[in-house]
Structure 1
Amino acid sequence: MTEPTGPRLAPWVDPVNAVLGVADPLIRASSRFDALRRGARWSTGLRDDGDEEFLDGMRTLNEHIQAADLTPMGRLAMRAEVSRRLANRMRVRHTLRTRPGIAAAPVSRPIFVTGLPRTGTSLLHGLLGHRTGARAPMFWELLHPAARGAEAAGRRAAARMLATLYYAMMPAMRTIHPLAATEPEECVFLLPHNGVHLTRVPMPGYRAWYAEHDFRPDYRFLRDQLRVLQRGASPQWVLKTPCHLGNLDALLDVFPDAVIVTTRRDPAVALASWCSFCEATLRMHNRTVDLHGIGALWLEFWSGAAARATRVRERSPDRFVDVAYEDLVADAAGSTAAIWERLGDGLSAGERAALDAHAARDRRRNPGSHRYTLDRYGLDASTVRAAFDRTAVSVPG
C-alpha cells in the first residue's frame, strides 16, 4: 500500500506567489492593523469608537499573523480575513444601534453541534438544519450577516468566488472539506477568536493568548449576529463548530437554554484526518509546514478542549445529546431523527421523508479518497487515545 503523501497545492500557486513576492513589502505595510482599521471604516462609512475590547483582540490576532512566515497569497488572504471581521463588526453594531427591536430579539433554544473535528459534525449540522423551523446559517451569510438586498446578492457571488479559489488552490479540499456559498457552514466565522485561525497560520503566541481568553464576549457577539440574521423571525438555530468544545462554559453562560449535540469517533482516526486538513490549509498560506508541529499542537489543543468539555458536562449533563460517528454514517437520517426525538420534538411523516431525501444527497460532487496517517504528524494511536480517555468525546467501551 502506497504511503499517503499529503495534500498538494495546485501547480499554479507557487508561480503566482513568486510574482506577488515583488509586492510583498507593500502587502505587509497594508496589512498593519491601523491600515486595516482605516480601510474598514472607509468601506462601511461607520465608526468603531467604544469597541476597545474587540479591537484589542483583533490587534493581537493581526500582530501574530504578521509575524508568521506567510506566502504573499497567504498574507493577502489573512489581511482580507481581518478586514472582513472589522467591517462586519461595525455593520452589526450599527444595525443593533439603529434597530432596537433586533437588539432585543430572543435567540431561543439553539442547537450547537460539536465534538472533535472530523467526526461527522458537518453532516449532522446540515441534517439537523433541514427541517421546518430550524435554520443552519449558510457560508455566505456567515461571512456577511448584516448584508441586505442587492448587497446580499453580491456577497453570495463573492462567497462563490471564494469557494472556487479554495478548490483551485487545493483540489483535495473537495474531498477533505467541501465548501459552497449556499450550504450550511461552521459558525467560526461569527466568533472573533477561534481555533480555525491556527489552522491557517502557526502562531504559538496567539495559542497562548487564546488559552487565557475570556470567550463570553465572543459568544455575546455570536448571539448579536444571530439576531441580525433572524430578520424578525424566530428560527431554532442549528450551529456547528468543533471549536465550541473548549468553550462550553462561556457558550452556556450566554445561551443558557442551548442544547449541545456531541459527536463521538475514535480520536486516533479523527485527529489523523484533522491533521491532514490542517496540512492542507497551512500549505495554502505558509512558506513552510512543520508536520510534527501540526500533530503536537492539535493533540494538545483538542485534548485540552475535551477535558474542559468534560468538566462542563459533569455540571450540566441534561444539556447534552450524543451521537456515534458509526451510527451517523450507517443511518444519517435515522440518527438525526433520533436526536429530535430525544429533544422532545419528533419529526412528522413529511419531515422524515424530506430528511431521508436530503440525507441521500451528497454535496461532494467529486468525493475521491481522503487518505491520512497519524505517524506523518509524529503521533501514534495509543498516545492519542490515552489523551482522550474518559473525556466527553471518548468512545465508550
Structure 2
Amino acid sequence: MTETIRIQDLAHPEHTETQRNILAFSESLDANLSPDNILQEASDALGLSDFGPVDFQERLAILCNAWENNPTLNSLGKFNLRNKLLQFARSRLLIQAQLTRHPEIHDVQIKSPIIVAGLPRSGTTHLLNLMAADERLRSLPLWESYEPVPVPGEAALEDGTDPRYQRCAEQWEQMQQATPHLAAMHPMNPDHIHEELELMGPDFASYNFEWLCHEPSWRDHYYNTDQTPHYEYMKTVLKLLTWQDGDRTGENTRWVLKCPQHMEQLPVLHKVFPDATIPVTHRDPVAVIQSTITMLGYSQRMSRKQVDLTELAEYWTDRIIHLLQACVRDRSSLPPEQTLDVPFHEFMADDIGMVEKIYAKAGLPMTDTARRQLQSFIDNHPRGKHGRIVYDLQGDFGIDPEALRERFDFYFDAFPVKKEK
C-alpha cells in the first residue's frame, strides 16, 4: 500500500534530530563563495589549469555574488551551493582537457535525438525514464551528468563500481537523511535518468541555478542572454560522452533527453538540434506550481534561515508563466513532422501508447523487445513507490487554486490541457 505523506510544517519546519545535527555541524564548514577560490581549488585538485574560453567567469561571478549576499541562506545552503560550483569547475577542466587532447570529438554527430520539453512536474521525468528503458536509446544517468568525464588515474572500486557512481550514491544517501520525503517527490538516485541541462553547468549557464537557489539577478541575466552558445556547449559534452562510449562518429548512438527549460528556448533547441524529435508535455499549471513549490519549500528547511512560502509561490508562478508564454509563442515554429504535444492526462492513461506515438514521429519502430523493456520499467517503478505527497495549495500557501488558474487562460486556450482538482 502506498504511504500517504502530508507535510504540515512547510512554513515553520520542525527539524528532526538528524536535521538539527546536520545544521549544527554545517556551521563549521567552509562556504567561501569567492570565484577565484573555487577555481583555484578545482585546479589544484586535478593538476589542470585550462578552463577553456573565459567568458564563463562573468557568469560564475554573478552567481557567487548573488549567493554570498543572500541574507536568507544558512551555512549549509552556501556550502552546498559552493560545492555545486566547485563540481562544475572541476568538470569544466576535465572536459577542456579531453577536447584539447582529442579535437576529433567535435566531429562526432548527435543524430536525430528525441528531446522532451515540458513544464517541471508535468510528466517529463517519467516519460524520459520510460523511453530510456529502451536499450536502443542512449540516456544520461544522474551519476554521469554530475561527472561526465572520469578523473584521470582514478581506479574503479574493488567490485568494479565507477567511483563517480559511488560518489553520487553517497550524495543521495546524505540527501535522504537530510530530507527524507524527497524520494517521494523527485528521486535522485545514481541510476535516475537526468536532464542534459546538467551538462550546461560546467559552462555556468542555464536556469538550473534557479532551482538550486531562486535568485532574481541570475534569472534576469539568463533572460537577457542568448542561450545558443550554452546549448552548443551542452551538445559538445554529449559528443564527448558519445566518443567516450567508443562511438567515434555518433552513427550508432541515438540520445533521448529532456529538460523543462526547453519550453522557453524552443527556437534555440531546434537551431542546435535541427533533426531532433521534440515531444512537448502539457499539464495544468496549478498542479505544476503546487508540486514545485511544495518540493522546494520542503527542501529549503535545510538551506534557509527561514522559509518564505509567499516569496516562493510568487517567484515560481512568475517563472511558470514565462515558460508557458514562450511555449505558446514559439511552439508553432517547430516542424510538425518533428514534434508532438503530450497532454499529461493522456500520457498517464496510456504511457506506452504515448511513447509509441512519439516513436512514430521519430521514425523508431516499437518492437516487441522495446515494449517488454518499457513494461518492465513500469512494473518496477509504480507511481507512489516512495509514498504519495498530499498537496494543499490553499492550506499551505494561502492560494486559491481557481483564482490562480485564471492567470493561465492563455495556455488553456492554446493547448488541450485538462484542469486538475
Question: Which TM-score applies when normalising by structure 1?
Answer: 0.91
Partner of 1:177: 186
Q: Which residue of 2 aligns with 1:354?
A: 373
Change in Cα spacing, 1:348 to 1:293, as seen in structure 2 (3 Å) is same
Within 2, Cα distance between the matches of 1:385 and 1:320?
A: 27
Single out whichever of 187-196 and 343-352 deviates more from structure 2: 187-196
* CA deviation map 1:107-135 (0-9, x unaligned): 11222212111111111001112223311
Q: Corresponding residue for 2:167?
A: 158
1:209 is matched with: 221
Deviation at 1:270, TM superposition (A): 1.6
CA separation of 1:350/1:288 partners in 2, compared to 1, >3 Å: closer, same or farther?
same
Give the % identical residues.
24
Deviates more, 1:385-394 or 1:250-259: 385-394
Separation (CA, whole Å) in 1 of partners of 2:186 and 2:194: 10
Q: Please state how far the C-alpha of 1:395 moved relative to its aligned partner.
A: 0.8
**Pair 341,202 (structure 1): closer, same or farther in 2 beyond 3 Å:** closer
- The answer (yes or no) to whether the contact 1:20–1:73 under 8 Å persists in 2 is yes
Asked if 1:5 is matched to 2:8, the reply is: yes
Provide the C-alpha distance between the structure 1 equivalents of 2:6 and 2:91, rounded to a whole number of angstroms.
Answer: 43
Q: Which amino acid aligns with 1:93?
A: Q
Give the superposed CA RMSD: 2.4
Instruction: Select the residue among 396, 400, 408 that pairs with 1:388.
Output: 408
Matched to 2:84, the amino acid is E
Alignment gaps of 5+ in structure 2: none
1:199 is matched with 211
Q: 1:338 offset after TM fit, Å?
A: 2.4
Structure 2 distance, partners of 1:49, 1:124, is: 35
**Which ranges of 4 or more aligned residues in structure 1 deviate by more than 4 Å?**
6-10, 363-366
**For 1:160-201, what per-residue CA distance to the aligned partner results, in whole angstroms no more than 9, with x for missing partners?**
001111111111111011121122112231123333322332
Structure 1 or 2: larger helix share? 1
Superposed displacement of residue 267, structure 1: 1.4
Do the aligned residues in 1 keep the contact of 2:113 with 2:254 (CA within 8 Å)? yes
Structure 2 partner of 1:315: 333
Deviates more, 1:143-152 or 1:212-221: 143-152
Residues 1:109 and 2:112 are matched in the alignment: yes
In 1, Cα distance between the equivalents of 2:415 and 2:176?
Answer: 31
Q: Distance in 2 between matches of 1:19 and 1:275?
A: 27
CA contact (8 A) 2:228 2:268 kept: yes
Distance 2:123 2:183 in 1: 16
Aligned equivalents of 1:4 and 1:86: distance in 2?
36
Contact 1:186 1:239 in 2 (8 A): yes
Kept in 2: contact 1:115–1:245 (CA 8 A): yes
How far is 1:150 from its partner? 2.7
Residue 84 of structure 1 aligns with which residue? 87
| TM-score after normalising by structure 2 | 0.86
Return the alpha-carbon distance in structure 2 between the equivalents of residues 142 and 49 of structure 1: 19
Name the count of aligned residue pairs.
Answer: 393
Q: Separation in 2 of the partners of 1:212 and 1:263? A: 26
Q: Would you say the 8 A contact 1:120–1:263 is kept in 2?
A: yes
> 2:184 is paired with a residue of what secondary structure?
helix
CA distance in 2, matches of 1:279, 1:264: 24
Where does 1:236-255 land on structure 2 (aligned, <5 Å)? 236-255=254-273
Match of 2:64 among 39, 62, 65: 62
Three-state SS of the structure 1 residue aligned to 2:67 is helix
Task: Measure, in 2, the Cα distance between the counterparts of 1:156 and 1:355.
Answer: 24
2:353 match: 334
Is contact 2:270–2:334 with CA below 8 Å preserved after alignment?
no
